[in-house]
Amino acid sequence: MKKEFLQPEYLPQHIGIIMDGNGRWAKKRGLPRSAGHKKGANVFGEIARYCRDIGIRYLTVYAFSTENWSRPESEVRELMSLLKQYLRDTKKYKDENIKLLFLGDRSVLDDDLRSLMFEAEQGSRNNTALTVCMAINYGGRDEIRNAVQQIARKVQNGSLAVEDIDETCISNHLYTANIPDPDVIIRPSGEKRSSNFLAWQSAYSEYVFMDILWPDFTTDDLNSALWEYSKRSRRFGGVLE
C-alpha cells in the first residue's frame, strides 16, 4: 500500500464511523459486553487522535442510537456510565486541540450527562485541529423529523415561507448544521448497512465496510479504508470528463 493516499489532496475532509462489534468482541472472549464497550472507547480515542494528526477536519462517530434503548437495562446503564467517564476525562486533555460536539436528542438523557456534554462543548469550542461529533441518542430519521418540525413551526409563525424550503434550509435545521457532509463512512464488524446513521448527510458518501470488530480496529485499518476511499471516483451524479 502506497502512502500517497495520506497526502492532503487524497484525504477526506469528513469521516463517519459506525463503531460496531463491541458486544461480539467481548462474547468471543468470554467477557461481559461492558468489556467490549470499554475497549471500543479506548480505540475511539486512538482513532480520533490519529485523524487529528493526519489532517482530517471532521470525525463523526455513532456512539448510541435511538434504537439502542432497547438493549438490556444493565448494558444501557454501563454505556451511559462509560460515556460520563469519558467526558470527565476530556478535561485532562486540554492540549489535544480537538473540538467536541454532540448530535442527537438530549432531552431524555439525565441531567449529569447533559451537563457534562455542555461542559465538553464549551471547554473545547476554541479548538481547531479536529472536530469530533459524537452521535448520542441519535437516529437519522429522528433527526429529519426534528428538522421538519422546526421548519413547520417557522412556516406556521410566518418567519419562513414555504417557497424558501430547499435542501440548504433542511440541512441548516439538522444537528449537523454548518458541518460538511461526510465524504466517507466506515463500518467495521462485517455488517453492511447504514443503521439510520446520517441518513440525510450520507446521500453521496462513499461507504467502506470492513470485516473487523471495532475493538480490534487500528490506525492501519483506518489507513486501509482511506486507501480504498482514495481510489473511488466521486461523481455526485455527474460524469467525469
Active site residues: 20, 68
The annotation status of 24 as a binding-site residue, yes or no, is yes
* Rounded distance between C-alpha atoms, residue 102 and residue 130, angstroms: 14
The annotation status of 20 as a binding-site residue, yes or no, is yes
The annotation status of 214 as a binding-site residue, yes or no, is no
The annotation status of 69 as a binding-site residue, yes or no, is yes
To which residue does cell 441548516 refer? 172
The annotation status of 141 as a binding-site residue, yes or no, is no
The annotation status of 46 as a binding-site residue, yes or no, is no
The annotation status of 52 as a binding-site residue, yes or no, is no
The annotation status of 195 as a binding-site residue, yes or no, is yes
SS3 labels along 154-169: HHHCCCCCHHHCCHHH
The annotation status of 194 as a binding-site residue, yes or no, is yes
Q: What are the cell numbers at 219? A: 490506525
Closest CA to 66 of 76, 74, 57: 76
* Rounded distance between C-alpha atoms, residue 72 and residue 67, angstroms: 12
Q: What are the cell numbers at 88? A: 470527565
List, in order, residues 6 or more apart from 9 with CB less than 8 Å away.
none
The annotation status of 45 as a binding-site residue, yes or no, is no
The annotation status of 234 as a binding-site residue, yes or no, is no
List, in order, residues 6 or more apart from 140 with CB less than 8 Å away.
194, 196, 197, 198, 199, 200
* Rounded distance between C-alpha atoms, residue 82 and residue 134, angstroms: 14
* Rounded distance between C-alpha atoms, residue 71 and residue 204, angstroms: 31
The annotation status of 22 as a binding-site residue, yes or no, is yes
Binding residues for substrate: 21-25, 33, 37, 65-67, 69, 71, 187, 193-195
Binding residues for Mg(2+): 20, 206
Binding residues: 20-25, 33, 37, 65-67, 69, 71, 187, 193-195, 206
